[in-house]
A and B are shown apart, each in its own frame.
Chain A
Amino acid sequence: ELKVEQNPLFLSMQEGKNYTIYCNYSTTSDRLYWYRQDPGKSLESLFVLLSNGAVKQEGRLMASLDTKARLSTLHITAAVHDLSATYFCAVDMIGGGSNYKLTFGKGTLLTVNP
């Protein structure tokens, strides 16, 4: 059974600070996804990481993937209040590119304080 673990589950940080969210998964997979969810809202796709060593950046967020270590990171640079949300990583459960059967982590609730 594929397991996806995120840590921390709760993160409170000050504006302007940097931090990293970690996502570990238990079996081989070559696709990893990061999503953002605001309270009562849809899951918004942030990044799709498709290969070992992949790095993607969008604004203050940067995601990377190490398939050998089965680890992805989501790095937050100079946090701002608008980044407050819950962040999920998700891994493709079936290899070969089937991206519908995703296994999600429990999510990291990020609160950025002024």
Chain B
Amino acid sequence: GAGVSQTPSNKVTEKGKYVELRCDPISGHTALYWYRQSLGQGPEFLIYFQGTGAADDSGLPNDRFFAVRPEGSVSTLKIQRTERGDSAVYLCASSLGAAGTSTGELFFGEGSRLTVL
């Protein structure tokens, strides 16, 4: 597709359940980012991948959160034992080049809205 694609667009789950959110970046983009946007707030950084490896995962709030990008393209954000406070919109972005380079402009997807009951 032309843009960053995220699925599902909406996910409702019960507290304690496991959730996976998927991001399909723009074809050819080497860098991928996850951000989280809570209601009424700006997005907050979670994790940055360059290729297959997580270059910086310092924004992940705790060890219930994990993300992978095994083939350097699609990424999955995994949340274990979900809590009500995890409810937010999870945004994925990709860039053609590495962060900080001239081709490092971020293109965002429309997000996955997670609601934990």
Contact = CB atoms under 8 A, between A and B. Distances in A.
Interface of A: 4, 35, 40-45, 48, 88, 90, 93, 96-107
Contacts of B104: 99-100
Contacts of A4: 42
A98 B56 CA distance: 11
Interface of B is mostly: loop
Interface residues of B, number: 27
A96 B40 contact: no
Interface of A is mostly: strand
A104 B42 contact: yes
A1 to B, nearest CB: 12
Nearest to A93: B45
A93 to B, nearest CB: 7
Q: Which of B59, B101, B106 has the most CB of A within 10 A?
A: B106
Contact of B41 (A96, A102, A106): A106
Contact of A42 (B48, B56, B101, B108): B108
A102 B45 contact: yes
B45 A107 contact: no
Q: Which of A4, A43, A48, A103 has the most CB of B within 10 A?
A: A43
